[in-house]
Amino acid sequence: MSENNRLSIRPDEVTEVTRQLDELAGRMQRVMETETPNLTTVSSGQDEVSQRVAHTLNEVLGSFTKSSDQGATEMHEVSAAMRSHAGRIAETDLAD
């Protein structure tokens, strides 16, 4: 039985996956930019309840937008890290 303790990858497949991951993150960002005005709540009245509801919904939107932006940034970072490591592993494979 032979031991297989080497890590080998297909750089072209990693490149395609990271491209798709970057595209997904970009689409997420574009959807949020496009839809934020539609998701922003305007108070339906001057009463305290209407204003409080609008304020709370806008706070939730702000929190969601922040989390969405962080998620997209992390997806871009993961994609970049995968590309970087794929290149290093491919270089090591060629050196062996």
* Domain CATH number, residue 70: 1.10.287
- pTM summary value: 0.74
Residue-wise pLDDT tens digits, 7-27: 667 888 888 999 999 999 999
Please indicate, yes or no, if residue 4 is contained in any of the structural domains: no
DSSP string, 36-93: HHHH----SSSSHHHHHHHHHHHHHHHHHHHHHHHHHHHHHHHHHHHHHHHHHHHHHH
Please indicate, yes or no, if residue 73 is contained in any of the structural domains: yes
How many structural domains are present in the chain? 1
Please indicate, yes or no, if residue 19 is contained in any of the structural domains: yes
Residue-wise pLDDT tens digits, 30-75: 999 999 999 999 999 999 999 999 999 999 999 999 999 999 999 9
Range of the domain at 81: 11-40+49-95
